[in-house]
Structure formats: structure tokens, C-alpha cells
């Protein structure tokens, strides 16, 4: 799998990497030479398959369960990354959830489920990653959606995606000076 050496020696944490876009991101990072931590919330089988695909192709990967809306799970995720590979150089904030609903169906639970994972989770994982980057710096990639522009029946979800875009711009200005970006 390590067809390129661009990321040799680098360690990447990819949240929400047990399926879909996150799984493909994890595989591509491994193909470029990175050791990859495949984070998942509930799909252990999916995460194990991504790890098997990566290791079967000669790459390095481990699966680590954790809900990135919870600080304790985030601390465990990064501790496992350090234990497995010695550090963290790259964070890809891909974990997210969406629930479409008309305005009449929006509840505090509906709102918090999406904002806690999609927005708070992104902030907390980035905060933890920066601690591990240290003086050498690192890279953070935030995955968002065209829903940030607003789509019908998805006011809460669209709000989370717009927040991700705004947070990304803000953190780029704040962390860029520290070589984290």
C-alpha cells in the first residue's frame, strides 16, 4: 500500500473512519505512507475491515473506538495513537452525523446530537491533537458539506456544517502561527 513516501513516518488520526469518506481517507493516507488510526464510534466491523485493507496492502493501521463528542473518549483515542505509533502528526476531523427534519420536528435532542458531534467534537479533537503536535507542528483537515449553504429540512445539520467552515477559518488563523494547520 505504501506506494508513495510523501507521508512516511507520519501518523494520522481519522475520525469516523469505519465507512464512507472516512474509510477512503484512511486508506489514501496509508497509501501515501502514513500510519493511520481508524476511529469509529459503533462500527467495529467496518473499522476492522479498513485496518485489514490497509495492513493487507502493507500499510500500518489500528482501529480505536471512541465517541469524539466525549472528552474522555478523545483522550483515549490519542493515547492509543501514541501507544501504537509514538505520536500524532495529522488529524482528519471526518466524524459526523446528520438527521434531516422539518422545523416543527427540531428538538433540543435533535440539535444537540448533531452539534455535539459535528461541532464540539471537532473542536475537542483539534484541541487534543494540538497538544500532541508540540513544537514540530502538524496538520488538521476538517471535512464539511455543501449543506453549510443551507438545505431544506436540515436547519440543524446545515448549521453544524456552517459552523465547521467558520471554525476552520478561525483555527487556521489562530493555529497557523504555531505550524498547526
Mind telling me the catalytic residues? 157
Helices marked H in the chain — which ranges?
20-31, 44-56, 71-85, 108-115, 121-133, 155-176
- Distance (Å, whole) CA 120 – CA 15: 13
Whole-angstrom distance, CA of residue 56 vs CA of residue 124 = 32
| Calpha distance 32→11 (Å, rounded) | 11
Phi/psi of residue 180, each to 5°?
A: -115, 115
Amino acid at each position: 500500500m505504501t506506494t508513495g513516501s510523501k507521508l512516511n513516518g507520519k501518523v494520522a488520526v481519522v475520525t469516523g473512519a469505519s465507512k464512507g469518506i472516512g474509510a477512503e481517507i484512511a486508506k489514501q493516507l496509508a497509501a501515501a505512507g502514513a500510519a493511520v488510526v481508524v476511529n469509529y464510534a459503533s462500527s467495529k466491523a467496518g473499522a476492522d475491515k479498513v485496518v485489514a485493507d490497509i495492513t493487507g496492502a502493507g500499510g500500518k493501521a489500528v482501529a480505536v473506538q471512541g465517541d469524539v463528542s466525549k472528552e474522555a473518549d478523545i483522550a483515549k483515542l490519542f493515547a492509543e495513537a501514541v501507544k501504537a505509533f509514538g505520536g500524532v502528526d495529522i488529524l482528519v476531523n471526518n466524524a459526523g452525523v446528520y438527521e434531516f427534519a422539518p422545523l416543527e420536528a427540531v428538538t433540543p435532542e435533535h440539535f444537540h446530537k448533531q452539534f455535539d458531534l459535528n461541532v464540539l467534537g471537532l473542536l475537542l479533537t483539534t484541541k487534543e491533537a494540538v497538544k500532541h503536535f508540540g513544537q514540530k507542528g502538524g496538520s488538521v483537515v476538517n471535512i464539511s458539506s455543501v449543506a453549510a449553504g443551507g438545505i431544506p429540512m436540515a436547519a440543524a445539520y446545515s448549521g453544524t456544517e456552517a459552523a465547521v467552515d467558520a471554525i476552520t477559518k478561525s483555527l487556521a488563523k489562530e493555529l497557523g502561527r504555531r505550524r498547526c494547520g
